Amino acid sequence: MSREHLFTKVDLGAGLTLNNRLIMAPLTRSMADDELVPTEDMATYYARRSDTGLIITEATQISKGAQGYPNTPGLYTEEQIDGWKNVTQRVHQNGGKIFAQLWHTGRVSHEVFRGEQPIAPSAIGINGTVPRSRDLTYGVPRAMNAEDIEQVIADFASSAANAKKAGFDGVEIHAANGYLIDQFLHYTANQREDDWGGTPENMSRFLFAIIEAVKPHIQQVGVRLSPAAYFNIEHDARDVAVFDYVLPKLNALELSYVHTGMFEDDPIDYLGGTVTQYIRRHYHGTVIASGGYSPESAGKAVVRGDADLIAIGRPIIANPDYVEKVRTQGPLVEYDESMLLELV
């Protein structure tokens, strides 16, 4: 069976070896305390899933201004660093590896979190309400100026340094799913006419500046990307040229991996296959597939060479012992949305 291929080790370089190819995907749970500090319950939650090859934490704010959802954790205060230390220590005690996913929501936010108008590449809003909130409606963001851009880049670097202090094995730069970095990479969100928009080179400048700023602070750095606009953002046919430019350039940056940002990794006509297959054609390093994979489809993706690692989301919420169940072909508990209300 193809699932047996999920249980071989993978070398991410610089002395970091994963025990298997099953990754815990980043899963927003909104379970930090009111100061956005990780709790003891969160430490227990992650520790129980330490047998995955790698845990990627829920999206974690790089600054107060980065927040877009209630009670999502931060990594910019000493209290938050200490809270995450408890998490990483518990995971390491159980033999696991863990990366922090660094996050700025951009226009997918509300002034109630920031204390001021959200920022974005351009003053273009999105429709809808903030999830897990008091029916807060999104507004129109303020277009970032040069000072804003440099501050966010610095905040990513500072959070990477804090991740190192907190004991993380690495970080993942969240450049997917319609959040701030992804907004720069898509034409419907980025209509700038300066050095940060208008061409693939300019639109990707923000991403590359963040990678450059983060790397001196922590050795292992991954990036999550959404070449297909599907969440909090609309597709424009010109976007493909942006990612045709971005992905080959990532080959020279010695990243730990590139991670697919999709809920369902189905074939997309304009990419000539799934998002993961598209990434693989352009990026030659380690690839993490994500988006609705079962143990069988995960094993087949590895065998085909589409990806090296497979990130699993909702089934890992429902099954803390997911890896062992896949290994022994035991029955999996089916995920239900009610499970989001408690940490198990």
Range of the domain at 138: 2-341
Q: Which two tokens stand for residue 193?
A: 């006419």
Which pLDDT tens digit goes with each residue over 192-218?
999 999 999 999 999 999 999 999 999
Mean pLDDT of the chain: 96
Catalytic residue among 76, 179, 187, 257: 179
Which pLDDT tens digit goes with each residue over 60-97?
999 999 999 999 999 999 999 999 999 999 999 999 99
Q: Which of 277, 137, 260, 120 is nearest to 188 (CA)?
A: 120
The predicted structure's pLDDT at residue 1: 58
Of the pLDDT bands very low, low, confident and very high (cuts 50, 70, 90), residue 157 is very high
- Per the structure, the count of domains in the chain is 1
The predicted structure's pLDDT at residue 228: 96
Q: Percentage of the chain with pLDDT > 70? A: 99
CB-CB contact of 5 with 21 (8 Å): yes
CB-CB contact of 286 with 54 (8 Å): no
**C-alpha 122, offset from chain centre:** 22
Active site residue 322: no
Of the pLDDT bands very low, low, confident and very high (cuts 50, 70, 90), residue 105 is very high
- Pairing status of strand 22-24 against strand 119-120: unpaired
Which pLDDT tens digit goes with each residue over 108-153?
999 998 889 999 999 999 998 888 776 888 999 999 999 999 999 9
What is the rounded CA–CA span in Å between residue 240 and residue 185? 10
Q: What CATH number does residue 205 fall under?
A: 3.20.20.70
CB-CB contact of 106 with 112 (8 Å): no
Let me know if 287 is exposed, middle or buried by CB neighbors in 10 A (0-12, 13-18, 19+).
Answer: buried
pTM for this structure?
0.97
Which pLDDT tens digit goes with each residue over 165-198?
999 999 999 999 999 999 999 999 999 999 999 9
What is the rounded CA–CA span in Å between residue 271 and residue 250? 18
